[in-house]
Amino acid sequence: MENIILPLSYLIGSITFILGLKMLSHPDSARKGNLVAAFGMTLAIFATIFLYKGHDGNGLGNYPWIFAALIIGTVVGTMAAKKVQMTAMPEMVSLFNGMGGACAMLISVIEYHHNPTPSVGMLVVIVLGMIIGTVSFAGSIIAWGKLNGKIKDKTIPGAQYINFILWGALIALSVMLIGGYSTEPMVFYGILIVAAIYGVLFVMPIGGADMPVVISLLNSFTGVAAAFGGFLYDNPVMLTGGILVGSAGTILTMLMCKAMNRSLKNVLVGSFGAAKTGGAVVSGEQGNFKEISLNDTATIMAYATKVCIIPGYGLAVAQAQHACHELEKLLGEKGVEVTYGIHPVAGRMPGHMNVLLAEADVPYEKLLEMEDANDQMPSTNVVLILGANDVVNPAAKEDPSSPIYGMPILEVEKADHVIVNKRSMKPGYAGIENELFFRPKTSMLFGDAKKVLQDLVSEMKQM
């Protein structure tokens, strides 16, 4: 009976992963999809703990250690998830993803020591799993540090050549180990060290608008590394989960690159947004920006026919998504059509703005992808930009010297009026000044997004 229950548990777990991933594609079913996939993972974990038999016919054993680790991990993970602010969500995603890469790396290390004479095929899987898992772990930790401001973007002189040398070292050491030319443990650990160094140098120069792409790519790395772990343990659930994460992360990465009009190679080598030079610079030639009052903003928006809201990281910083939804509902009551223009790389992780607005119960049909939002801009009376910067920067279309040149943007200037809410005139995450702020159609509305939106709602209610 046990021989049937374990494979059946793995089959159910694999099916729930696929169903959960499908359900995650829409906000209305995303939460349920998360629970479905979590149920499948829980089932697979406990089935493995109690029913798995090794080649020697014995179970896992070590139950006190296993359950102590499960309890500690569950408590820490739950507390972290409940306490994290929406602004810190990208850092948490990077950190958790890094832990997944570390687990895949440790699996390879453990299996290498548990198999004194592994086959060539197993050794290939062990080495590849360790390399990819280590790169994912090191890169994710650097991404975590960069996102929370503890690590600054650094372009190392000759970094590309150093990376090529590291790649050469990884290949040479792997061939030595897999080909049987050396059985020294130091060769194995040399691969681990070189992979960790490469993971650090790989992510260190990347910043600005490329961070969501890098997070997505690192996520796919972790999935691939986990799939190798599934091969090692002949575990279908681990294999299925790893393949799903790896393929989904890769597809998302390529879609985001396409939306940015850049190749993945250009993202990784070009260090998009890391350079702080080039692009529009605030100077006297640009003229002065115009400020607009709360009362004037409320009046323009209340008597508009169509308003488009462009959310950015500043909206997350201010925790203003609920106030934004309240403004949207009030405008709707006054007969104004309100939509949201969502840029693929707005925020600091894939889908950051979608998650942010879903938290405030903003209807999904009001969220327009960049192409659809741009199609509607000529018929839009007012665009309200809330904390977005680089994704509306005209330099991406007009300034060949800008680091973001060639990236598709939300073409807000096609609307009648553009109102930009920011705390100050500081540049965005890519470190590039935005000439949009000085254009004739643009007015600046300074202040904390949450307070500004709450005051706008108060002003409109009095009209």
Q: Which of 275, 307, 336 corresponds to the end of one domain? A: 275
> What is the domain count for the chain?
3
> In this predicted structure, what is the pLDDT of residue 69?
93
> What confidence score (pLDDT) does residue 277 get?
41
Considering the domain architecture, whether residues 146 and 78 belong to the same structural domain is answered as no
Are residues 191 and 312 located together in one domain of the fold?
no
Q: Which two tokens stand for residue 117?
A: 């004479």
Which pLDDT does position 327 carry in this prediction? 94
Q: Quickly tell me which residue has 């691969």 as its tokens.
A: 191
Q: Are residues 154 and 23 in the same domain?
A: no
CA separation for the pair 89, 281 (Å, rounded): 31
- Rounded CA separation 9/31 (Å): 23
Classify 17 in phi/psi space as left (phi over 0), alpha (psi -120 to 50) or beta.
alpha
**Does 132 lie in the same domain as 26?**
no
d(CA 135, CA 202): 9
Active site residue 390: yes
Q: Can you give the residue range of the structural domain that contains 402?
A: 284-461
Q: Give the closest residue to 95 by CA, choosing from 142, 41, 34.
A: 142
Say which amino acid occupies 231. F
Sign of the alpha-carbon dihedral angle for 378, 383, 386, 389: positive
* Residue 39 sits in the same domain as residue 64: yes
Domain match, 265 and 310 both: no
Please indicate, yes or no, whether residues 238 and 171 belong to a single structural domain of this protein.
yes
Closest CA to 220 of 160, 148, 140: 140
432-457 in b/e form (b: 16+ CB < 10 A) is: bbbbbbbbeebbbbeebbbebbbbbb
CATH number for the domain spanning 335: value is 3.40.50.1220
Judgement on whether residues 134 and 163 belong to the same structural domain of the protein: yes
| Same domain assignment for residues 6 and 48 | yes
Q: Is the distance from CB of 235 to CB of 51 less than 8 angstroms?
A: no
| d(C-alpha 273, C-alpha 431), whole Å | 7
Given the residues 390, 416, 448, 455, select the one marked as catalytic: 390
Strand pairing category for 382-386 and 337-342: unpaired
pLDDT of residue 266: 66
Same domain, 6 and 146: no
pLDDT at 273: 47
Q: What is the pLDDT of residue 272?
A: 47
Q: In this predicted structure, what is the pLDDT of residue 207?
A: 64
State the 10-residue block means of pLDDT for the chain, 463 residues long.
81 93 82 92 92 75 91 92 79 91 94 84 94 95 86 73 90 92 89 94 76 87 93 89 91 81 66 44 56 92 95 86 93 94 82 84 89 94 91 87 82 94 69 83 91 93 84
Q: Write out the two tokens for 260.
A: 């940015």
Same domain, 159 and 75: no
Q: Which of 54, 218, 194 is nearest to 130 (CA)?
A: 194
Domain boundary among 83, 104, 130: 83
Token pair 């002065």: residue: 288
Confidence (pLDDT) at 269: 60
32 shares its domain with 173: no
| Distance, CA of 109 to chain centre | 28
DSSP state of 448: -
Question: What residues are paired with 384 via a beta bridge?
Answer: 309, 419
Final residue before a domain boundary, out of 42, 61, 83:
83
